[in-house]
Structure 1
Amino acid sequence: MLLLNHAVVITNDQDNRVIKDGAVLIEGSKIKEIGESEILTAKYNEAEVKDVGGKVVMPGMINSHTHLYSTFARGMDLKTEQPPRHFLEILEKLWWRLDNSLKADDIYYSALYAILTGIKQGTTTIIDHHASYGQIKYSLEIIAKAVEESGIRADLAYEISDRNGDLMRDAAIKESEEFITSIAENNSEHLKARLGLHASFSLEDESLAKVSKLADKLDSNFHLHAAEGRLDLEHSRLKGYNGVVKRLDEYDIWRPGTIAVHGVHLQDDELEILKENQCFLAHNPESNLNNAVGVTPLKKAFDKGVKLCLGTDGYTTDMFESIKFADLILKHSSQDPRLGWSEIPEMVFKGNPELASQSFGVELGVLKEGAAADIIVVDYFPPTEINSDNSYAHILFGINGGMVDTTIVAGKILMEDREVQIFDYQKIAYETREQADDFWQRF
């Protein structure tokens, strides 16, 4: 047993309790008890004790949508005469060329580096959306290797698309089916999987019928981009549907737990469809503004009762950064400073944990008896009191990923005193850069 004591414990439980001189007892992969330091230290005097010295202890962060394969794009020369002028050109000149160039070692180091950076910033669970049409077969297994070596939790999907023709589409479907079957058979504590789709505009009717039938066979739901750019909406209208969600609804894509990502150009009645089918809408504000595609209609989605969560889309690995940006863009786009105080914490500390808990079959994103021991220690000593009413304000204005001191997943310490324990981080960073140099030459 491991006892974290003398902490300011932010539980994120139903009552959002804050224990000012609190302790968390870990036994195996679960939390055994939470309470006051003095009581738990005396009660469990045989436990190993880690005195956190007044730092904040809170649940590990969950990223509801990212692309680990995007790591090598940072600072990369696109080798084009003109930079991308709109969203489709961003896909064509950057992302689709990048994923067509990826090989096995690129996939592995892209994933491992991003995962380790996330660990340093307090992320304990990720929902990843992968594409590597240069290396389809075994690509998910390669990412799974990086996940298992690092010790985090990851829900993986391969984005099936028709953009490279029938043969590659079928190879992506096969990779997805084999990996999902393998994960179900192994019942890993750290790995889960679901079917991934790119977006409506890159999927033919025949492909949607195929993946829908496969989802029935595998008892899977989906993870896909939905109305990220206006071209997705316009493509659906050309097909005779007033929106992406309506088109995909014809193929039973909207199943309980399906993740619709972005949703920038969704219509009001499409939000109703997502709600009725108990789907999640993953908001990625930094990516949306970087790609100049627009702003997700969050207020409308909240008002309609859609399940919302927050991701990064690979723009960053720091969920604390995304929280700040999500808050600002909601206020700015609505011209209403009252917004964000309930909506953003609802996404991050309710929506993300609900999504991840459904996937992994264990309670995540909360510190309570019986929940998973996915915990971070944050080196934050605030100038004002932290309590149940203001803990989110402290997270919003006071905490960033660089302040994370310790990261624990399933009771195992992955980083302590800002030193990654499971790998030589500097060595991995060096090897990643060497691999990136090789990739840039091939891009």
Structure 2
Amino acid sequence: MKKQVDLVIEARWLCPIVPKNTLLEYQSVVIQSGKIVDICAITSASDLYQANEIVQLTEHVLIPGLINLHTHAAMSLMRGVADDLTLMTWLSEHIWPAEQAVLSEQYVQDASLLACAEMLSGGITCFNDMYFYPKATSVAASQAGIRANLGLVVLEFPTAYATDAADYLQKGFDAHDSWRGNPLISTCIAPHAPYTVSNQTFETVLTYAEQLGLGIHTHLHETRDEIAQSQTEFGLRPLQRLAQLGLLGPNFLAAHGVHLIDSEIDMLAEFGCHIAHCPSSNLKLASGIAPISKLLAKGVNVGLGTDGAASNNRLDLFAEMRLSALLAKGMSEDATVIPAHQALEMATINAAKAMGLEDKIGSIEIGKLADLTAVKLNESIINPCYDPISHLVYTCGREHVSHTWVTGELRYSNGLYANIEPLELKEIINMWQPKLQLHKH
């Protein structure tokens, strides 16, 4: 008697990520109630299982859904508002004034939906976000059917969203309570950066994070200016200051980590911290190039992020995988640094670990959630293909993504979304672009 299951995906190639450096051929992934219940040869699966649906990927490689470890989804409507500027000029003269003009719950929900559509079409099944009105982001993510780890953003200064650090935290916890029980949404606390958050607030954040078992997600060592400012104000580099405040640990995720000295890399390794590497954004804002090969050599867990579309212009993890591998090779003058499989790990299991979700997502393993991405390798212009993993990182682009599943539900397929109408996205753009046009650099 065959066992009844929801879905069987038959793949020409399967890259499970765990175990490392594995590529399987002609495999079926068997899915029931959103979870992977078996991985076996296509012939075995057809003998063992009766599926409600069978998807045949005869020219595809199936990989775990990609995970965007650092982004600001609601900045997608600010794509190209201010380009070719340094970080502080970009922020203080363009992005912050633009945010002041449009920031509202509706704006965040609309802009986040646009970001979710872009991410799903590029094979991203989960994103780690940091922005105002996280409840609005959760509504957009739930509609799109994408997984999100939403940061409860904390700052000292007032915005349309909140007045001071205590207000940010209160609003964040209200949002956290609102999505309790939503299987797609998880939470971390997101103090924006050492240059916008006081010692007292960091200590409060730490207390809450420990009480609630939440991760901490912050910007860190993104620019030289940030470090110089910290040394002037506190007599310490930002990472030393956070270490003294007790923030470092396995639940601490630092975005960027561009300017790290060797002793700081050792410290990150010792405390089991994580880095979200955002190579495109760091290059575009001329922040520098993070010492990723040194971090990895010391055993620091590094995942990949896009940052927001305002400082990258794309929420595209294929671009980040390729760039992270190439930059690391160029910087170290060692072509063996970050081979293709490691770049793919950074976009999947490493990112899952950084959010404490590696028991659920980040690899194709029995018992894990069926967050999966299929990439089609049949186009002549990207062939011949000798090694599908190398191909994913060095040859393919997000346009080669054919299917994106989240918990076994097909959310995107060949240009169509399960829960997002193209007209809805056009209306969002037409509504907000004129309001943001005023801040165009």
- TM-superposition CA deviations, 1:187-243 (whole Å, max 9, x none): 321001111011111222232233233333333231000010112211221234441
- TM-superposition CA deviations, 1:226-268 (whole Å, max 9, x none): 0101122112212344411110122222232211010111222
Contact 1:31 1:368 in 2 (8 A): yes
Q: Which residue of the other structure, out of 423, 428, 431, is the alignment partner of 1:427?
A: 423
Identify unmatched segments of 5+ residues in structure 1: 132-138
Instruction: Write the distance in 2 (CA, Å) between the matches of 1:9 and 1:343.
Output: 16
Identify unmatched segments of 5+ residues in structure 2: 1-5
- TM-superposition CA deviations, 1:293-317 (whole Å, max 9, x none): 1111112212222111111102222
Partner of 1:406: 403
Q: Give how far 1:181 is off.
A: 4.1
Change (3 A) 1:187 1:272: farther
Q: Which amino acid aligns with 2:98?
A: L
Question: For 1:167, what is the secondary structure of its paired residue?
Answer: coil
Instruction: Write the distance in 1 (CA, Å) between the matches of 2:344 and 2:61.
Output: 17
- TM-superposition CA deviations, 1:340-368 (whole Å, max 9, x none): 21653442343113234x24x74312112
Q: In the TM superposition, what are the counterparts of 1:145-160 in structure 2 within 5 Å?
A: 145-160=139-154
Change (3 A) 1:432 1:224: same
Give yes or no for the alignment of 1:352 onto 2:351. yes
Q: Which residue of the other structure, out of 389, 394, 408, is the alignment partner of 1:392?
A: 389
Q: Give how far 1:67 is off.
A: 0.8
Instruction: Write the distance in 2 (CA, Å) between the matches of 1:328 and 1:288.
Output: 14
Partner of 2:182: 188
Give yes or no for the alignment of 1:120 onto 2:121. yes
Q: Give how far 1:406 is off.
A: 1.0
Partner of 2:3: none
Give yes or no for the alignment of 1:49 onto 2:46. no
Partner of 1:72: 77
Q: CA RMSD in A?
A: 2.3
Instruction: Write the distance in 1 (CA, Å) between the matches of 2:175 and 2:246.
Output: 22
Partner of 2:89: 89
Instruction: Write the distance in 1 (CA, Å) between the matches of 2:8 and 2:84.
Output: 52
Change (3 A) 1:350 1:214: closer
Instruction: Write the distance in 1 (CA, Å) between the matches of 2:126 and 2:278.
Output: 16
Instruction: Write the distance in 1 (CA, Å) between the matches of 2:137 and 2:394.
Output: 34
Q: Give how far 1:431 is off.
A: 1.4
Contact 2:61 2:388 in 1 (8 A): no
Q: Percent identity?
A: 23
Instruction: Write the distance in 1 (CA, Å) between the matches of 2:224 and 2:191.
Output: 18
Instruction: Write the distance in 1 (CA, Å) between the matches of 2:397 and 2:338.
Output: 18
Instruction: Write the distance in 2 (CA, Å) between the matches of 1:89 and 1:241.
Output: 25
Q: Which amino acid aligns with 2:8?
A: L
Q: Give how far 1:56 is off.
A: 1.8
Instruction: Write the distance in 2 (CA, Å) between the matches of 1:418 and 1:41.
Output: 29
Question: For 1:5, what is the secondary structure of its paired residue?
Answer: strand
Q: Give how far 1:402 is off.
A: 0.7
TM-score by length of 1: 0.89
How many residues are matched?
423
Give yes or no for the alignment of 1:173 onto 2:172. no
Partner of 2:331: 333
Partner of 1:107: 108
Contact 2:60 2:375 in 1 (8 A): yes
Instruction: Write the distance in 1 (CA, Å) between the matches of 2:173 and 2:334.
Output: 46
